[in-house]
Structure 1
């Protein structure tokens, strides 16, 4: 059973429908005990970093999600949900010296997307629409998805580059559009797979497979090895 975290900040129906559509068993919940006990956790993205983090803290969800992940549950953060995987974020922060804290799975601060590139060319922010996703290494989350496939984005803030980056996209700057805590089935995507047609459905199906087989982490390691071997054939 995959728990979709409801932190009272947006409509979760499209994420629920997307996962149900690929055969996953899901429950939409705001209950910390349900989240903590789930086989896997999905954190959708609606709203701003500070507001979402405050709501999750008030509802007891930050610690519940950390507990589930520490217990081996696969995790997928979507858009703002990916941002919340990081240590902190500047969106709607009221004091630069005291940024709102996220889940802390990955070090770094999520910050505003630049409105110009290095040459001074202007870009529209928010970044809204279809854009290509580039990745070089095989990964179970992207199994069956070709590099340069297009996914749907809508965001104004971007995560910092880190060792967790597994895919990138360009809009004014090159930024991480997918991350994974190294060696663990803990993922985030900047784009919205639930709004990304067949490629998005495949990614959700891949996560559902990971969720069904990797609670202990051992099956996930096997899946990584399988993906790497398939890419060499």
Structure 2
């Protein structure tokens, strides 16, 4: 059986994610051990909260280098919610913070208004996925598929070709499902998104 590690650095909905992966027939290991992460077939980086605090926790636990190495070495790597944002070069959340640099780009706050409509943050709720390109990561998902999201910031990749699906906050369109080779990311919470979310996790596991 493939070995999947959920990175435990004190930030994230670990139990729910573990249960979601188990629904696909995989029993993941929850660990902050660098050797366990390095020996895994796939790595999942969760996260909730503030970008800067999360990066500080990763640094304190000595996980930055191993996470960057495993992702850039070609291992299937999935960032979920804040975990997706941490994979980017930097974030503007409460100042400027350096990220893992796995995906070139910046994490930005939603504008206060767009197209004449106010965008209050955080955005909390369900949102429809809008497919931008076909990919096995979203196999089985269609125009009625939805994702549960809780966030005030969104990712802005340098390479737009890595964006698979987007959502809209009123008319403001932003990336929510991304992939560049072995690196995958979801802005929302698949573990809280019913069958659609379970499909996302199952599709990622199929890449192991």
After TM superposition, is the score higher than 0.5?
yes
Higher share of residues assigned strand: 2
Which TM bucket (shorter chain)? over 0.9
Q: Take 2:165 and 2:132, find their aligned partners in 1: how far apart are those partners?
A: 8
Q: Which has the larger radius of gyration?
A: 1
| 1:107 alignment partner in structure 2 | 104
| 1:215 alignment partner in structure 2 | none
The number of aligned residues is 203
Tell me the TM-score normalised to structure 1 length: 0.83
Would you say the 8 A contact 2:132–2:166 is kept in 1? no
Q: Take 1:200 and 1:180, find their aligned partners in 2: how far apart are those partners?
A: 16
Which runs of structure 2 are paired with 1:213-228 in the superposition (5 Å)? none
Q: CA deviation at 1:148?
A: 4.4
Q: Take 2:29 and 2:40, find their aligned partners in 1: how far apart are those partners?
A: 9
> Cα deviations across residues 152-208 of structure 1 (Å, max 9, x unaligned)?
000000111532212111115211111112xx1211011110000000011111111
| 2:123 alignment partner in structure 1 | 127
Would you say the 8 A contact 1:136–1:147 is kept in 2? no
In the alignment, does 2:186 pair up with 1:186? no
What secondary structure sits across from 1:109 in the alignment?
Answer: strand
Q: Take 2:144 and 2:93, find their aligned partners in 1: how far apart are those partners?
A: 29
Higher share of residues assigned helix: 1
Would you say the 8 A contact 2:124–2:151 is kept in 1? yes
| 1:157 alignment partner in structure 2 | 153
Which stretches of structure 1, 4 residues or longer, exceed 6 Å deviation after superposition?
Answer: none
| 2:15 alignment partner in structure 1 | 13
Q: Take 1:147 and 1:61, find their aligned partners in 2: how far apart are those partners?
A: 38
Aligned equivalent of 1:168, options 149, 166, 169: 166
> Cα deviations across residues 42-64 of structure 1 (Å, max 9, x unaligned)?
01121111011111112111111
